[in-house]
Chain A
């Protein structure tokens, strides 16, 4: 299956999803980006340079871990995990960011901008900018800045300017709008490092391409470690970049692919970010592309909610929307409560700390594994780790000892100031 040959003649479209819906002022910039991307994609030395950098800088290839204890505990399928959490900066986000950094150098641009929700992508972009010597501005909703101070701390220490966006819901989508406004002003020297496989063409294709390194590795590793391919693969889906990354390794195989969205407070609650697993989203055009959005009948976007800021987004990757429509990817949603329980179980049985985003995939795999045979195999993409998000996780788990610690620390700072 080649999704990217656009043999129907509609460049940038996957079925009816995708496209480019941007102000005219960006037309030349997006064309320039598309042309540069096409050159990079057809140049084997570009990919080789990318892979080498990912090995030396980020620790690739990331391993695959057999979760023997969890599998035995559940009594069904054998569960394996692709360890994207072991990347530098703690998630798969670095794959895309390093790729776009190399591309930015070819474009000859000296400045990068990015949006970020949970801060993972901003953190990764700031890291790349420091390494490549690029100026860097990160747009982050004011609400997210307030709840993700540790990532803001790291971004600022790496020399990035973090702008707290005060518009709209003050979260990820508003950060994207603000990054767009910067881009329409400064496109001459600035590349927009979009963090997920959403937005206008060529971003969905480009981000998917950089993330495809995950699936390429995983397929070979599964064959080597287990002698066969997995039966099912679970990945969490916010924008959809880590899911696209791992799924692409298995499109031509008989493997069931499962996207796990943010169920928040559950179906019918309206406090969630499940575009495909629940029935609340409809097709629309926003933020530069056409896909399923959580919106009202007037076409205005709804408020979304998730325990995991990185999944809390109104729209979904257009490629995944298309694959879902074609019955090639199944979609489920994990609620906040299911995520909390899955995280506790994974930590206790395996000593792994998946990010809250990632834990949505764990929750659904844990739910379905017991009804599968012991000789069947599940692969989960562990897109990120949570140990560095201790503030968020401790709050999600409502940990009283942590709260006491923070109070003591705050009192100590207060006293020092006086």
Chain B
């Protein structure tokens, strides 16, 4: 089943899905597994596993540090794929690779996609790979049944949104505001207008991310978007209060 069908099926029972995020190897793979356990209990629908990179220029401070610490711990691409295989074997949610294009480039596009497929991943998010540079990767992905997740942003023109929509598969990641991950987004008319603009260009499900941090954000997104994307806020909860606080965070978040 493709990612789009999976999301549509899950949406039959839920008004708003949740995608969560984990930086592989930070603070450790054991901790990652504990975090994912909590996410699964909360009914998270999709998870991005971020492969750490030394120059994470699209990430905010918390993830930058997480990338750095993970690499200091010695995390390799191989470790990340092995971890992904363990995760997809254990949990019901679907898994995406998130990272930067150099990780893919160094491994080789085909090798990367084959390993992603073998590890049970369904697609990938590469924020520094524009569609102009993604031709060969997207073509290979289509052959292998893997889905590139495309970002639509508030600065895109309608013409550009149409180009992005043509390349998008699975769902569209709507970036709620300018900036990097991690700071608070004021949910309001701007976000609603952006989602509506994106909706005009694609029939794919829309996930909204960047700055989603609590239940009021979720309530706002319900009816506008298909999925809320939660990253930094969850990591912050884990860093502040470990498993207990993360469990609390997700149960608050998904409480209808």
A residues near B (Cβ < 8 Å) are: 19-29, 167-168, 173, 176-177, 180-181, 184-188, 282, 284-288, 295, 297-301
Q: Which residue of A lies closest to B107 (CB)?
A: A299
B127 lies within 8 A of A173 (CB): no
The one of A29, A187, A285 in contact with B101, judged by C-beta atoms closer than 8 angstroms, is A285
B248 at the interface (CB under 8 A from A): no
Residues in chain B near residue A188, CB distance under 8 A: 178
Given A21-B130, A23-B128, A285-B128, CB of A298 within 8 Å of CB of B151: no
Residues in chain B near residue A180, CB distance under 8 A: 57
A299 lies within 8 A of B128 (CB): no
How does the 8 Å CB contact mask read for B154-173 relative to A, with 1 for contact and 0 for none? 11110010001000000000
Cα–Cα, bound, A209→B167 (Å): 34
B64 at the interface (CB under 8 A from A): yes
Highest count of chain A CB atoms <10 Å: which of B105, B130, B151, B179: B130
Given A29-B155, A286-B55, CB of A21 within 8 Å of CB of B129: yes
B155 lies within 8 A of A25 (CB): yes
A187 lies within 8 A of B155 (CB): yes
B102 at the interface (CB under 8 A from A): yes
B64 lies within 8 A of A185 (CB): no
Given A20-B132, A24-B151, CB of A181 within 8 Å of CB of B60: yes
Cα–Cα, bound, A301→B106 (Å): 12
A24 lies within 8 A of B71 (CB): no
Residues in chain B near residue A29, CB distance under 8 A: 155
B233 at the interface (CB under 8 A from A): no
6 further A-B contacts with Cβ under 8 Å, apart from A21-B129, A24-B153, A181-B60, are A21-B130, A21-B133, A167-B65, A286-B55, A298-B106, A299-B77
Residues in chain A near residue B156, CB distance under 8 A: 24, 27-28
Residues in chain A near residue B54, CB distance under 8 A: 168, 286, 295, 300-301
Residues in chain B near residue A173, CB distance under 8 A: 55
Counting from the closest, the 9 A-B pairs by CB-CB distance are A299-B106, A185-B179, A300-B54, A299-B102, A25-B153, A177-B57, A301-B54, A180-B57, A28-B155
Residues in chain B near residue A299, CB distance under 8 A: 53, 77, 102-103, 105-107
Cα–Cα, bound, A309→B61 (Å): 25
Cα–Cα, bound, A301→B178 (Å): 27
A301 lies within 8 A of B55 (CB): yes
Given A297-B106, A298-B77, A299-B102, CB of A287 within 8 Å of CB of B127: no
Cα–Cα, bound, A28→B158 (Å): 11
The one of B52, B102, B160 in contact with A284, judged by C-beta atoms closer than 8 angstroms, is B102
Residues in chain B near residue A19, CB distance under 8 A: 133
Would you give the shortest CB distance from A296 to chain B, in whole angstroms?
9
B130 lies within 8 A of A24 (CB): yes
The one of A168, A181, A287 in contact with B180, judged by C-beta atoms closer than 8 angstroms, is A181
Residues in chain B near residue A28, CB distance under 8 A: 155-157, 160
B175 at the interface (CB under 8 A from A): yes
B152 at the interface (CB under 8 A from A): yes
Q: Which residue of A lies closest to B173 (CB)?
A: A24
Cα–Cα, bound, A324→B8 (Å): 52
Residues in chain A near residue B153, CB distance under 8 A: 23-25, 27
How does the 8 Å CB contact mask read for B129-141 relative to A, with 1 for contact and 0 for none? 1101100000000
Highest count of chain B CB atoms <10 Å: which of A22, A181, A287, A297: A181
How does the 8 Å CB contact mask read for B103-120 relative to A, with 1 for contact and 0 for none? 101110000000000000
Residues in chain A near residue B128, CB distance under 8 A: 21-23, 285, 288
Q: Which residue of B lies closest to A181 (CB)?
A: B180
A to B CB contacts below 8 Å, 23 in the list: A19-B133, A21-B129, A22-B128, A23-B153, A24-B127, A24-B151, A24-B152, A24-B175, A25-B155, A27-B130, A28-B155, A29-B155, A168-B55, A168-B64, A176-B57, A177-B56, A185-B178, A187-B155, A286-B55, A299-B103, A300-B52, A300-B53, A301-B54
Cα–Cα, bound, A167→B54 (Å): 10
Cα–Cα, bound, A287→B160 (Å): 23
Residues in chain A near residue B57, CB distance under 8 A: 23, 176-177, 180-181, 287-288
Cα–Cα, bound, A188→B154 (Å): 12
Cα–Cα, bound, A286→B132 (Å): 16
Residues in chain A near residue B55, CB distance under 8 A: 168, 173, 177, 286-287, 301
B214 at the interface (CB under 8 A from A): no
Q: Which residue of B lies closest to A174 (CB)?
A: B55
Cα–Cα, bound, A25→B58 (Å): 10
Would you give the shortest CB distance from B58 to chain A, in whole angstroms?
5
Given A25-B153, A297-B106, CB of A187 within 8 Å of CB of B68: no
Cα–Cα, bound, A91→B96 (Å): 48
Highest count of chain B CB atoms <10 Å: which of A186, A286, A297, A298: A298
Cα–Cα, bound, A300→B107 (Å): 12
Residues in chain A near residue B175, CB distance under 8 A: 24-25
B88 at the interface (CB under 8 A from A): no
A286 lies within 8 A of B151 (CB): no
A20 lies within 8 A of B105 (CB): no
Given A285-B128, A300-B53, CB of A24 within 8 Å of CB of B180: no
B180 lies within 8 A of A184 (CB): yes
Highest count of chain A CB atoms <10 Å: which of B56, B58, B175: B58
B76 at the interface (CB under 8 A from A): yes
Q: Which residue of B lies closest to A283 (CB)?
A: B105
Q: Which residue of B lies closest to A185 (CB)?
A: B179
Given A28-B156, A287-B55, A301-B54, CB of A22 within 8 Å of CB of B130: yes
Q: Which residue of B lies closest to A293 (CB)?
A: B102
Residues in chain A near residue B150, CB distance under 8 A: 24
Cα–Cα, bound, A286→B126 (Å): 12
Would you give the shortest CB distance from A302 to chain B, in whole angstroms?
9
Cα–Cα, bound, A300→B99 (Å): 12
Cα–Cα, bound, A173→B52 (Å): 17
Cα–Cα, bound, A300→B75 (Å): 11
Q: Which residue of A lies closest to B101 (CB)?
A: A285
Would you give the shortest CB distance from B246 to chain A, in whole angstroms?
25
Q: Which residue of A lies closest to B52 (CB)?
A: A300
The one of B102, B178, B179, B180 in contact with A286, judged by C-beta atoms closer than 8 angstroms, is B102
Q: Which residue of A lies closest to B104 (CB)?
A: A299
Cα–Cα, bound, A108→B71 (Å): 41
